[in-house]
Amino acid sequence: MKKIAFVTGATSGIGEAIAKALAADHSVVICGRRKERLEKLANELRLNTEVFELSFDVSDSAAVNAAIESLPKEWQDIEVLINNAGNAHGRAPIHQGDLADWDAMIDSNLKGLLYVTRAISPRMVERKSGDIINIGSIAGKEVYPEGNVYCASKFGVDAATNGMRMDLNPYGIRVVGIHPGLVETEFSMVRFKGDEGKSESVYRGITPLYAKDIAETVKFVIDRPPHVTLADITIFPTAQASSTMVHRQS
């Protein structure tokens, strides 16, 4: 079996693209809540590599531990962990925020990433090798109006990533944060709760990033020689200069 990569949030968007990009060189554990999508992706990936499917919600610590403990012995030595699962839910000023949306973002974006890392990293420490790549966001570098709690969750991801890098440094484990700007995926449809007009407006007048762009970056990071860590990467579409500055063609 090839080196094993573990990808959360693999049923769509960036996670799906990462699983496909890594399949050429890795055996892949794909994780997500939507079983039908997992099965479809697994069938596609099996044309090129070994695949194992795990269906669980990263925000449920017991489910995370049960799923990872269920891996057969030959799948337990995970060399690459991609913490990709997460979402944005709604936009609102702080005094109008929806508490259920706040919980969903903190639970998946930050706590879920920590739960999965806690379950997988001890074996990396034992082996003194491994890569942990956390998919953050420009929202973890710059706050913008009505993004308060989403930004807080992604700032947390950035802080956790830097802390992980320090804690795991003695064990030769590379820890990387990748922080995309505007990427056209299902992200905006989820954030705006299925409102197609609002979702489309996010990308109107620009050529955004695509999931494949982030996946190619992940593969590039993993393929660097062992002595090289690309620790912190921000990726924008060319039309974007910051979290709030985007040049749109009329």
- Residue in 150, 171, 203, 210 annotated catalytic: 150
Tell me the per-residue pLDDT of 5-25, one tens digit each, with 9 for 90 and over.
999 999 999 999 999 999 999
Query: 144 an active-site residue?
Result: no
pTM recorded for the entire structure: 0.94
The domain made up of 4-183+210-235 is a member of CATH 2.60.120.10: no
Beta bridge partners of 133: 82, 176
Q: What average pLDDT does the structure give for the chain? A: 95
Are the C-beta atoms of 227 and 123 separated by less than 8 Å? Answer: no
pLDDT of residue 59: 97
Domain regions of the chain by residue span: 4-183+210-235
Cβ burial of 74 (10 Å; 0-12, 13-18, 19+) is exposed
Tokens of 58: 């990263």
Residues 6 or more apart in contact with residue 159 via CB below 8 angstroms: none
Tell me the per-residue pLDDT of 79-116, one tens digit each, with 9 for 90 and over.
999 999 999 999 999 999 999 999 999 999 999 999 99
Whole-angstrom Cα distance, residue 104 to residue 91?
13
Tell me the per-residue pLDDT of 125-184, one tens digit each, with 9 for 90 and over.
999 999 999 999 999 999 999 999 999 999 999 999 999 999 999 999 999 999 999 999
